[in-house]
C-alpha cells in the first residue's frame, strides 16, 4: 500500500476529520461517567466498559439495568439487540475495505460506531486518495480516546463541567449526521430512501416494541431502494469481466458510480 | 472490580464486537451477487436517516413534530449550512450548536 503523505500528516488528517465526533462524544461520555458513579460503579469498572464495550447507548442502559439489579444475561441480550445495527454498517463498508488484511479489519471493526461509520461511509465512497490506512484508524482511535477519557473525567469531576446543554454540545452529533446524510444523497432515489428510512424509524416503535426500529427501517428502506434502482448499468459489464475497464471509463450514469468507485478501489489495491 | 461486573463486561464486549466484525471478516475480498451489492449501496443513506430522525424528532421518548421541539427547529439552519458547505463538518456542527443555544435563550 502506497500512501503519499508523511505518517504524522496522515494521523493529523484523521484527527481533523474526527473533531465533530469528539465534540459530540465528550459530553455524552461525561454524562455516562456521572451516571456510572451514581450507580455505584468503581472508576475502573466505568472506564473498562468504555474501553472494551465502547457503545454509548448500551453503556447507559447497562448502568441503569445494573442499578435496577437486572439479570446480567438480560443486560447482555439487550446490548446485543441495541448493537445489532452495526452488522449492517460492517457489511456496507466491506466493498470499500478489500485492500486491507483481515487482521487490520479485526482491529478496525472494534472501534466501529454509528458516528465513525457515518464518517467512513461518506469518505470511503468519495474515494479520496488520503482517506486510507492510518487516517482511517486515527479517526477511530481519536473518537474512542475521547469517549474513554470523557467517561473517566465525568466519573471524577462530573459536576465541574456543568450541563453540556448550555453550549449546545448535545446537538453536535445530530448536526454532523445532517451534513453526512446530505453528502450521501446524490440522486432522487437516495432522497426517497432517506425519507422512507426516517419515517419507518419514527413510526415502527408504535408497531413493534423494543429497539428494532433503526435496524428494520434501514434494511427495509435500502431494500426498497435496491428494488427501485433496477440493475445498475455497470453490472452487465462486470459480469462479463470488464469491470475494471468500465471503472476506468467512469461508467457514466449516476447509478453506476458506486460500483465504479468500488471497482476502482479494488483495482488500486491489487 | 467485582466478578459479576467482569462477566457482564465480557458478555457485552463480545455481543458488541461480533456484529461489528463478522460481516467485514466474512465478506472480505468476496464479490457479492449484484442484487446484494445494490442493496448494500443504499444501506449507508438508509441507516444515517434512520439514526438521525429519532435524534431530532423524539424528545424524552415521545415523537414531537411541533415547533416546540427545539431540535427540529435547530435542524433547519443546520440543513441550510450543510447545503452551503457540506464538506466542512465542523462548521455545520458549530452552526447547529449555536442555533440550539440561541433558540434555547430566546424561545
In Å, how far are A179, A191, B78 from B99, measured between CA atoms?
15, 25, 8
Give the span between the Cα atoms of A224 and A128, in whole angstroms: 29
**pLDDT on residue A235:** 53
| Residues A99 and A75 sit within 8 Å (Cβ to Cβ) | no
Contacts of A209 (CB under 8 A, 6+ apart): none
Give the span between the Cα atoms of B40 and A259, in whole angstroms: 11
Grid coordinates representing B63 are 415523537
Question: Considering only CB atoms, which chain A residues are within 8 Å of B56?
Answer: 174
pLDDT in tens, chain A (270 residues): 444 567 788 889 999 999 999 999 998 999 899 999 988 999 999 999 999 999 988 999 999 999 888 999 999 999 999 899 999 999 999 999 999 999 999 999 999 999 999 999 999 998 888 899 999 999 999 999 999 999 999 999 877 777 767 788 889 999 999 999 999 998 999 999 999 999 999 999 999 887 889 999 999 999 999 999 876 655 544 544 444 444 444 444 444 444 444 433 333 332
pTM for this model (two decimals): 0.83
Q: Which of residues 18-77 of B touch A (CB under 8 A)?
A: 19-25, 27-29, 32, 34-35, 37-58, 63, 71, 74-75
**ipTM of the predicted assembly exceeds 0.90:** yes
In Å, how far are A227, B19, B21, B59, B77 from A85, measured between CA atoms?
21, 8, 12, 22, 29
| Residues A75 and B7 sit within 8 Å (Cβ to Cβ) | no
**DSSP letter for each residue of B39-60:** HHHHHHHHHHHHHHHHHHHEET
Longest dimension (CA), chain A: 64
In Å, how far are A26, A180, A222, B87 from A194, measured between CA atoms?
28, 12, 9, 19
Residue of A nearest to B7 (CA): A72
**pLDDT on residue A264:** 38
| Residues B11 and A76 sit within 8 Å (Cβ to Cβ) | yes
Residue among A62, A85, A97 whose CB faces B8 most closely? A62
Question: Considering only CB atoms, which chain B residues are within 8 Å of A86?
Answer: 16, 19-20
Q: Do A86 and B19 touch (CB under 8 A)?
A: yes
| Residues B51 and A177 sit within 8 Å (Cβ to Cβ) | yes
Give the span between the Cα atoms of A94 and A112, in whole angstroms: 12
Amino acid at each position: 500500500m502506497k500512501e503519499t503523505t508523511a505518517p504524522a500528516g496522515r494521523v493529523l488528517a484523521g484527527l481533523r476529520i474526527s473533531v465533530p465526533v469528539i465534540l459530540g462524544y465528550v459530553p455524552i461520555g461525561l454524562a455516562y461517567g456521572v451516571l456510572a458513579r451514581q450507580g455505584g460503579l468503581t472508576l475502573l469498572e466505568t472506564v473498562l466498559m468504555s474501553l472494551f464495550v465502547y457503545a454509548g447507548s448500551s453503556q447507559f442502559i447497562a448502568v441503569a439495568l445494573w442499578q435496577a439489579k437486572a439479570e446480567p444475561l438480560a443486560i447482555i441480550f439487550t446490548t446485543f439487540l441495541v448493537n445489532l445495527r452495526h452488522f449492517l454498517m460492517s457489511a456496507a463498508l466491506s466493498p470499500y475495505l478489500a485492500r486491507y488484511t483481515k487482521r487490520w479489519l479485526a482491529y478496525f471493526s472494534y472501534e466501529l460506531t454509528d458516528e465513525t461509520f457515518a464518517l467512513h461511509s461518506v469518505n470511503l465512497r468519495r474515494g479520496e486518495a488520503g482517506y486510507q490506512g492510518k487516517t482511517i484508524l486515527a479517526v477511530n482511535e481519536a473518537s474512542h480516546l475521547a469517549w474513554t477519557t470523557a467517561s473517566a473525567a465525568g466519573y471524577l469531576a462530573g459536576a465541574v463541567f456543568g450541563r453540556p446543554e448550555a453550549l449546545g454540545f448535545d446537538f453536535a452529533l445530530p448536526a454532523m449526521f445532517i451534513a453526512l446524510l446530505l453528502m450521501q444523497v446524490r440522486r432522487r432515489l437516495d432522497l426517497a430512501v432517506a425519507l422512507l428510512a426516517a419515517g419507518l424509524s419514527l413510526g415502527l416503535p408504535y408497531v413493534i416494541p423494543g429497539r428494532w426500529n433503526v435496524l428494520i427501517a434501514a434494511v427495509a428502506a435500502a431494500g426498497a431502494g435496491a428494488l427501485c434502482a433496477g440493475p445498475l448499468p455497470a453490472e452487465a459489464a462486470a459480469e462479463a469481466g470488464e469491470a475494471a475497464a468500465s471503472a476506468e471509463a467512469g461508467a457514466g450514469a449516476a447509478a453506476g458510480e458506486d460500483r465504479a468507485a468500488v471497482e476502482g478501489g479494488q483495482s488500486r489495491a491489487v | 472490580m467485582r466478578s459479576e461486573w467482569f462477566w457482564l463486561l465480557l458478555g457485552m464486549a463480545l455481543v458488541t464486537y461480533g456484529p461489528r466484525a463478522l460481516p467485514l471478516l466474512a465478506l472480505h475480498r468476496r464479490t457479492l451477487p449484484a442484487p446484494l451489492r445494490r442493496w448494500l449501496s443504499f444501506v449507508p443513506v438508509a441507516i444515517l436517516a434512520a439514526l438521525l430522525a429519532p435524534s431530532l424528532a423524539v424528545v424524552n421518548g415521545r415523537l414531537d413534530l411541533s415547533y416546540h421541539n427545539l431540535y427540529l427547529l435547530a435542524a433547519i439552519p443546520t440543513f441550510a449550512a450543510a447545503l452551503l458547505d457540506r464538506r466542512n463538518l465542523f462548521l455545520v456542527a458549530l452552526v447547529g450548536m449555536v442555533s440550539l443555544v440561541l433558540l434555547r435563550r430566546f424561545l
